[in-house]
Structure 1
Amino acid sequence: MLVKWIRCTVTDPRGFEQGQRRWAGLLGEPGFRGQGGGWSRGRPSVAHVFAFWESRSFYDSFMARAHDRLAAAQAGTFKDMQAKLFEHRFDVRTGFEPRFGDADVVRVAHSRVHSERAEHFALMQEKIWNPAMAGSPGMLRAMFGEAPGDEFLVLSMWQSAAERGKYRPERIERLSLRAQTDADVVALAGDVVQLEPSWTV
């Protein structure tokens, strides 16, 4: 499965939201698995969108055909758009599905890793971080994805921001020491996204 993560700064919120509803046109596209998104809780003008495709070939076919027509509705409503593609590598809990209806927030963590430490980073995600996240109350499901250039994405869906808040900083620090995260990671960025139900396709 392929994940596309789009992040942008919105300059015309009303126009952007109207345009976002036009993405319902994705339904019926071959290989499309689901899309959702919302607003950053820390930076309210920043929007995140997550789109899921069965494979790169289905995604490339869509980009060559229908993408520009759907995207036209949002032209001029945002700036500083960044889009990245990640290949699904493994689930944090079993059976990750790109469903957004039961989730309130999405936590996104994006890491750039030293190339010689990339396999260690992925192994620590599997052995240390996954069990900790899977045991967190309110964490519905999550996935770990990889992009060329030793970049990784952890996308987790939570029942509520309050549940996400129980994932305590001191606990994260302890896990980080065990996983030797500082030795692996060049740069780490993250956000908590308040999902907008009307953006879900």
Structure 2
Amino acid sequence: MIKSRFFIAASFAAISTVSAAGTFDGPSIQAGIGFNAAQTTLKDYSPDGKVSDTKAVGNLSLNYSKSYGAFNMAGGVFTMLGSQKSGSLRSFSVDTGGIWSDEFKLSNVWGISIEPGYNLNDSVQAYTKFSIVRATGKNTFDYTLDSTPVAGDAGSASMKHNGTGFGVGVKFKITNELYGTVEIEKINFNTKSYYTDVTETYKPSLVKAGVSIGYKF
């Protein structure tokens, strides 16, 4: 009798493990909204420092997931919909008395990710996220004197930035085909100089926190 009870308990445990292993397996598409905090670090600039901005943006990704027992390995391609301001500033020119205005922006943000995970049960999975990311950084500037724009002292420049990201998240089952995610990720981009005639450099970074709905094919 004891052996029979043990066998039944072990069978239920095995069935539970198999069920958990396949919950998020296969190809899927995710769409969601995130609250982003973007920052630009300025160096050899007057003044040096950091500027930032926040915005709610949409996110879209294509993914594939495969479980190995309770462990899971997923990967995908993701993109941020639209652009994201990453700070602005106004600086006073001591020599002329004019005002320089700068605005920074990130756009065309996309990347690939690897997401090792662990199936906590048949409905919930915790995972970490490692990303390689690409984005376009842009600086737009102008100069005003006595509140009047000065001709020739306005323009913009942009450069491609490469970055790496690290994040954590949780997936939870809604139906057999639908699941939800809650995720936070920090992305650091490399430093670039946008202009050949000045030494100042720009280093963007991005913190994304959001929720999404996934559909498993």
Question: TM exceeds 0.5?
Answer: no
* Larger radius of gyration between Structure 1 and Structure 2: 2
- Return the structure number with greater helix share: 1
TM-score by length of 1: 0.22
TM-score by length of 2: 0.21
